[in-house]
C-alpha cells in the first residue's frame, strides 16, 4: 500500500485527519536534566502517542528531525525508537525539510525512507527538480514547502512571480511532480490553493493549536476530500498539561479531542 492510500485508510478508520507533531523539548518534559535524554524522550512521547492511538485520536505522527538532533545521538536514538514503535500502527511523516543537489538529495532520501523508515518527508523545493526527484518514490509521499505558517513566509513565498506569487509556482510543480504540499492554516492562501488543485493535492497543514490557525475554516475548505490531508498539532498536544495540569498523556488526549470535535463533523459515522 502506498503512502497516500495508507493516509486515506487511516483517516477513515479513525474519523480524523489529526497528525501529532513530535517536537521534543527536554526542559518542558522534566526539571531533572540528569535523566538519560534518550530514555526520557522515548518514554514521554511513546506514552502520549500510544494513548492517542488507543483513543483513535490521530491518523499520523510527524516527528521533527531537528528537535531530536539538537540532543545529539541520544535524541536521534529516541527518534529511531519512536518511529520503530509506531510505524506499523500509523503513517510516519518525517519533518526534515531537505533539499540539495542531486546526489546529496539521494543520500537524504535514503536516510528519510530507508534508514528512518518514514512514509513521507517534508522537502524544501528551492533548488529545483533535481533536488526533489530522489524523494519522489511511488510508494512514498514528498510534501513540498509551499505556503508555510511562519511570519517570515511572506519574505519569499509571496513575492510576485509573473501574474501570481512564488508559492503558486511551487504549487504548479507539486502538481506536475505529484507531490503533496505544506500549507499553513495561518493564511487564507489555503482557500486559493484548494480551488486551484480541485482539492486533489495532499496537504500537510501546520498552524493549528499554538499558532492559532482557524481549524473550522480549514475543514470547511477541504471537506470534500479531507482524508488525503493532515492537520498537524505539535506542542499544543504534547505539552497540554502545562496549561491544564494532570498527566501529560491524559492532557494530550483531551486536547486532541477538542480538535477532533471539530474535525469529526466532516466525517460520516
What is the CA 189 to chain-centroid distance, rounded? 18
DSSP-derived letter for residue 64 is B
User: What nine digits make up the cell of 16?
Assistant: 480524523
Query: In this structure, are residues 94 and 112 in contact, taking their beta carbons and an 8 Å threshold?
Result: yes
DSSP-derived letter for residue 22 is E
Task: Say whether 97 is catalytic.
Answer: yes
Buried b (16+ CB within 10 A) or exposed e, 200-217: ebbbbbbbbbebebebee
Query: In this structure, are residues 25 and 236 in contact, taking their beta carbons and an 8 Å threshold?
Result: no
Which residues partner with 160 through β-bridges? 165
Annotated active-site residue in 62, 87, 97, 151 = 97
Contacts of 255 (CB under 8 A, 6+ apart): 209, 233, 236, 237, 240, 244
**How far is Cα 22 from Cα 94, in angstroms, rounded to an integer?**
10
Residues designated catalytic: 97
Amino acid at each position: 500500500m502506498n503512502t497516500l492510500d495508507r493516509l486515506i485508510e487511516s483517516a477513515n478508520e479513525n474519523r480524523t485527519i489529526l497528525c501529532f507533531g513530535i517536537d521534543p523539548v527536554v526542559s518542558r518534559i522534566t526539571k531533572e536534566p540528569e535523566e538519560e535524554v534518550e530514555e526520557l524522550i522515548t518514554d514521554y512521547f511513546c506514552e502520549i502517542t500510544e494513548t492517542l492511538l488507543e483513543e483513535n485520536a490521530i491518523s499520523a505522527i510527524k516527528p521533527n528531525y531537528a528537535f531530536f538532533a539538537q540532543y545529539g545521538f541520544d535524541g536521534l536514538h529516541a527518534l529511531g525508537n519512536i518511529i520503530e514503535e509506531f510505524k506499523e500502527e500509523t503513517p510516519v511523516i518525517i519533518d526534515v525539510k531537505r533539499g540539495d543537489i542531486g546526489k546529496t538529495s539521494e543520500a537524504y532520501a535514503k536516510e528519510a525512507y530507508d534508514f528512518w523508515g518514514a512514509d513521507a518527508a517534508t522537502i524544501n523545493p528551492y533548488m529545483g527538480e533535481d533536488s526533489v526527484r530522489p524523494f519522489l518514490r511511488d510508494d512514498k509521499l514528498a510534501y513540498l514547502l509551499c505556503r508555510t505558517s511562519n511570519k517570515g513566509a511572506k519574505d519569499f513565498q509571496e513575492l510576485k512571480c509573473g501574474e501570481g506569487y512564488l508559492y503558486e509556482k511551487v504549487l504548479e510543480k507539486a502538481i506536475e511532480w505529484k507531490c503533496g504540499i505544506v500549507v499553513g492554516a495561518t493564511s487564507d492562501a489555503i482557500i486559493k490553493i484548494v480551488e486551484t488543485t480541485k482539492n486533489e493535492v495532499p496537504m500537510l497543514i501546520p498552524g493549528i493549536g499554538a499558532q492559532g490557525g482557524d481549524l473550522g475554516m480549514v475543514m470547511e475548505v477541504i471537506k470534500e476530500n479531507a482524508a488525503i490531508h493532515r492537520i498537524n498539532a505539535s506542542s499544543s498536544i504534547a505539552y497540554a498539561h502545562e496549561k491544564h495540569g494532570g498527566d501529560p498523556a491524559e492532557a494530550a488526549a483531551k486536547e486532541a479531542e477538542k480538535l477532533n470535535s471539530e474535525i469529526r463533523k466532516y466525517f460520516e459515522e
